Amino acid sequence: MKYNTKETFKIYIQHAKKVKGLVFVIFLCSLFATILGDLITPLFYKHFFDTLIKDVSFDVKKALLIGILFKILFLSLITRGLWALGDFLSSKSLIVIMRDIFQSCFEYTHKHAINFFNNNFVGSLVKQVNRFAWAFSHLWNTFFWDFIPLVIAIVGICIVLSTQNLLLAGIIFLWILILCVSTFFYSRVKLPLDVALSASDSEISGRLADSFTNHENVKFLNGFVLESKSFWNTTTKWHDRAKKSWYFDAWFRVFQGGMLVGLQIGILYFAILLWEKGVFTVGDFALIQAYFVTLSFKIWELKHIIRSYYEQTANAEEMTKILLTPHEIEDKRKAEALSVTDRRIIFKNASFAYHKTRKIINKLNLEIHPHERIALVGHSGAGKSTIVKLLMRQYELTSGKIFIDDQSIDNVTQESLWASMSLVPQDPILFHRTLIENIRYGRPEASDEEVIEAARLAHAHEFISEFPEGYDTYVGERGVKLSGGERQRVAIARAILRNAPILILDEATSSLDSESESLIQDALDNLMKEKTVIVIAHRLSTIMKMDRILVLEKGTVVEEGTHKSLLRKKNGIYKGLWTLQAGGFID
């Protein structure tokens, strides 16, 4: 299996470059703090113990020892100061970089086409963004506060001890080499286990989000036992993968602990032999013991460093794949902003297929005149909603072109294309924000008065005024605190406020009762003035007022005309739909 570790670090380095000056200073702090604290300070302890057994007067010895203690104190203060400075600068840099990483992930993920979101759990995406940013934080801290001190300590200790005894330094170096190589192979074996565990973790998040989002279906369709069993299977998969990963880790800790005990006993035994020959002093014993404690701690951390490296790169893997996945629909390099004047829409030989064998739109030729109001009618799957999605460039055409005022929509920026349209979908999903924020989302610069006026026209003001907090009422996740009709009226208010030249109503009155629909019908009529309007509707009261009705079958227009003219066709499809109507809907 191919991993994207290199690409992950390229992304991280690009973000870290923004604070490269601070990165250099943090590196120097870690470097010199390690040299002073782990390498030089133990030499003064050696000097301290050698002085203790020196054959000099007590007063001289006392003065020498106090002098050494002051030197150790001075070094310790400098070392602590360097660690503190490095820690402060690290925090300052890290919060800037992580903010940028969060922002980059947010923006790049949002730029993916609708197909991407249809194929991914939202809960999993949220977790992947969080893990990617926090993985950087862990790797950053591991590099500056674990890896750099480890390398400096190992190299420095071997150099210092080689001046005492070359063979002793060689033994320690060989032991470190064996442990490093074994740790490296341990981590190589563990990487696939960590990646699999990370994938299971994301699967659990996705399953939780999906099940909690559909909590009403789980309750009212008696799906609790089914959901519980399904979630158990998901967590069992995680359990099996965690068991492999964590048990493997535990066994390596046993091996590493044994190696450390062996090193300590071996070094002290060898030191006794050197002391017996008169080569080693009591101070040397103190020195190698201090160095051993440092090495033990650093080498013990080596496994955690490598483990952290692989775990965090595994955590970042899924988001890296997303960041490396090209956007399905992108603006062309020299794409210009769409300029809407006449509001004419033309589909020219437009075809679209989700798969090679599933053609939805077949060579559609359609011209929607400026300010014309058209309705798209047909059975489910006829291609009504797909036409709207293609116009909004949520999908790319398989072949053909779509023009707005003689400008091909694939030659203009997507943002300018969407800015020219107002969409009221069949099932509006609102942000978990206040009502005024949700309505204003269509035009952020709008004043409170303009928002309230739009709400009045959509007949949303009535129910909003009944809330204790009025327009400052939070609507809940996806707008769950509002009824379907209330969400619909908020969406219509947003469209009224947006006032874009092209209006799309995708069954926009389907969630309203007859009384509510009659209340906003005049508002919709006002909203449609001076606009090109596309309506997908089953309610005949909406369809009847359209300038032209298009009847779709298998992605092709098979009938068109006004409501009255279509009813005059003897064996017409529209007339058949009208005959089959029930309660003002076409099935």
Inside any domain, residue 68: yes
**Range 187-198 average pLDDT:** 79
- The confidence score (pLDDT) of residue 113 equals 87
Does 229 reside within a domain? yes
Q: What is the crossing angle of helices 148-164 and 20-34, to 10°? A: 30
Q: Would 280 be classed as within a structural domain? A: yes
Phi-psi region of 470 (alpha: psi -120 to 50; beta: other; left: phi over 0): left
Is residue 195 scored above 90 in pLDDT?
no
Q: Name 350's bridge partners.
A: 364
Q: Supply the Cα-derived Rg of the chain in whole angstroms.
A: 35
- When pLDDT is averaged across residues 116-129 and rounded to a whole number, the result is 85
Section 148-171 average pLDDT: 84
The residue-averaged pLDDT of 347-358 equals 84
Using 50, 70 and 90 to split pLDDT, how confident is the model at 458?
Answer: confident
In a domain, residue 397? The reply is no
**Domain ranges, residue 152:** 5-324
The CATH number of the domain holding residue 151 is 1.20.1560.10
pLDDT higher than threshold 90 for residue 573? no
Q: What is the pLDDT of residues 383-416, one digit of tens each?
A: 888 999 999 999 899 999 999 999 999 999 998 9
- What pLDDT is recorded for position 52? 80
Residue 140, pLDDT score: 95
Find, among 99, 89, 97, 68, the residue nearest to 24 by Cα: 89
Residue entry with tokens 């406020």:
497
- 362-371 residue pLDDT tens: 889 999 999 9
| pLDDT above 80 for 519 | no
- pLDDT given for residue 160 in this prediction: 84
Q: Tell me the pLDDT of the chain averaged across its residues.
A: 85
Q: Is a pLDDT exceeding 50 seen at residue 291?
A: yes
Do the domain assignments include residue 465? no
As a whole number, mean pLDDT of residues 561-575 equals 86
Q: Give Cα 92 distance to the centre of its chain.
A: 23
Q: What percentage of the chain exceeds 70 in pLDDT?
A: 94
pLDDT tens for 413-426 read 998 999 999 988 87
| pLDDT of amino acid 380 | 79
In a domain, 82, yes or no: yes
The domain total for the chain is: 1
pLDDT digits (tens, 9 = 90+) for 294-321: 877 887 777 778 778 878 888 898 899 9
Three state DSSP letters for 546-583: CCEEEEEECCEEEEEECHHHHHCCCCCHHHHHHHCCEC
pLDDT bucket at 537, cuts 50 / 70 / 90: confident
Q: Give residue 107's pLDDT.
A: 92
Q: Does residue 508 carry a pLDDT above 70?
A: no
107: in domain: yes
What is the reported pLDDT for 582?
46
Q: Does residue 517 carry a pLDDT above 70?
A: no
pLDDT band at 512 (very low <50, low <70, confident <90, very high): low
What confidence tier does 509 reach under pLDDT thresholds 50, 70, 90?
low
Tell me, what's the pLDDT at 334?
A: 87
Give the Å distances, CA to CA, from 548 to 39, 424, 562: 86, 20, 5
- The pLDDT of residue 449 is above 90: yes
Cα(320)–Cα(328) distance, integer angstroms: 16
Provide the pLDDT for residue 155.
Answer: 87
The reply to whether 391 falls in a domain is no
Which pTM value belongs to this model?
A: 0.77
In this prediction, residue 583 carries a pLDDT of: 43
Lowest-pLDDT range of 41-45, 266-270, 382-386: 266-270
